[in-house]
Amino acid sequence: MEIIGFSPFFLPSAAFFPNFVSMRHLAVTLALLAWALLPAGAYVDHRGHNVDSLERVVAPWTPEAIDNATEEELIGLNRAYRDLMLGYEVINGEKAVFYARKAIAISRRKGWTEATGDAARHLGQCFYAQEQYDSAMVWFRESLACVEKMAGGATSPSHPEGYAEVDIDDSRSSLYGAIGNLYNVMGDIPTAMDYYGKAGEIFDKHGWNESNSVLYYNIGETWADEKDYAQALPAYEKSLSYARIAGDSLLVANALKGLGGLYMDTGKTWKALRCLQEADKYYSLHDDQEFRFRMENLDFMSKVLQAQKKSMAWWLAILVALIVLSVGMMLVVKRLRRLRREQAEAAVVMDEALEELRPDSAETAFEKDSVPKLSDRDRQILALIAAGKTNPQIAEAIFLSPETIKWYRKKLLAKFDVPTSAALVSKAKDMGLV
């Protein structure tokens, strides 16, 4: 900017006053000169300027006085208006706008392109803070137009040879970001991304990795707010990459926090926790900086841990349910197999009963001492009875139900015409069957 500091004021002689400068002009000039030497007053802004005193100094400058001011007076007055604009920017938006307009009026009149662009940018920031986005856009675009004039060869008393490309690109990227933010808050995300992309190209061109890290972090935040996690993820990853290249631990922490928040929102709690824990390590190196971001990171970690507890409880409940279901299914399958086996046993028993009820063509009468007609199953069970096995033991040995074994035992007692199992075994031995 052309108006960087005070140029020595021209103090005219008494003979010079009647034709060029009134006594009032002289008093104001002396007041501006005195302002440069003012000690700190009751209120000092964030840059150490006493805005109350400065405001009293510029108060006498009426439009008529400005019309009759010298070059040196306008330089000092423009600087004073600019300092008042900056001083009030964070404490009184209306006054900041008021003095920004006064600064622009002088810089436009004198053709100070950089001064006009700088004041227009700050004016846009004031309207942005007041959520007057249309007005902010007008002033940001005017500031950008001034930058393009500087790029086209515009000069000034402080820059008679023009402006360096790096300075032009610095101003351009700043305004691209500001305009992108405007489109962002107005809901035009694609246009916002176009301007962010232009800023990113400039950052890449000059290797401004810190700026690119901040830019892509904000892009990631935008897509995350839109729930477009597919585009948010690479943005956060780029932010982290640029931060690591720059070696800025705070930017690394911010990018990791962004990634952790994304993984948390998408349910990837273990990845989220790793990112957030690493971010906290970086934040812990800067306890006096980014306190709000560290608290946000810790809040994310707390939410992730709570989500993991809920998730683990949920999976434990599912596991228990699966175990119960599996046991139930095994019991059902076992029961079905038993039913099928019993059905098969019943069919065999019925076949044997029918076979025994069928008249024997060779024998018309049953002889008490004759050998009973035995099936293979009869013989198998008879041998086990003779071995002293109980019904459950026999059932387990030949895979039949205890009820079926009990039925076979009764049938064998009837076939051998004996009352007990002991008599059955004794008679079977006498007949040479066991």
Q: Tell me the domains of the chain and their CATH numbers.
A: 1-110 (no CATH), 376-430 (1.10.10.10)
pLDDT in tens, 188-237: 999 999 999 999 999 999 999 999 999 999 999 999 999 999 999 999 99
Express as a percent the part of the chain with pLDDT over 70.
81
pLDDT of residue 29: 44
**Cβ–Cβ < 8 Å for 231, 215:** no
* Average pLDDT value over all residues in the chain: 82
DSSP H helical segments within 111-208, as ranges?
Answer: 113-129, 133-151, 165-185, 189-206
Position 328 confidence tier, pLDDT thresholds 50, 70, 90: confident
pLDDT of residue 357: 61
pLDDT of residue 269: 87
User: 390-411 b/e with 16+ CB inside 10 Å = b?
Assistant: ebeebbeeeebbeebbebbbeb
Tokens at 370, concatenated: 């004759």
pLDDT of residue 21: 36
**Cβ–Cβ < 8 Å for 121, 174:** yes
Tell me the sheet residues that pair with 156.
159
pLDDT of residue 143: 96
Four-CA torsion 70, 76, 78, 80, nearest 10 degrees: -150
Q: Is a pLDDT exceeding 80 seen at residue 350?
A: no
Mean pLDDT over 314-335 rounds to 83
pLDDT in tens, 238-295: 999 999 999 999 999 999 999 999 999 998 989 999 999 999 888 888 766 666 777 8
Side-chain half-sphere exposure of 103, counting CA atoms within 13 A: 30
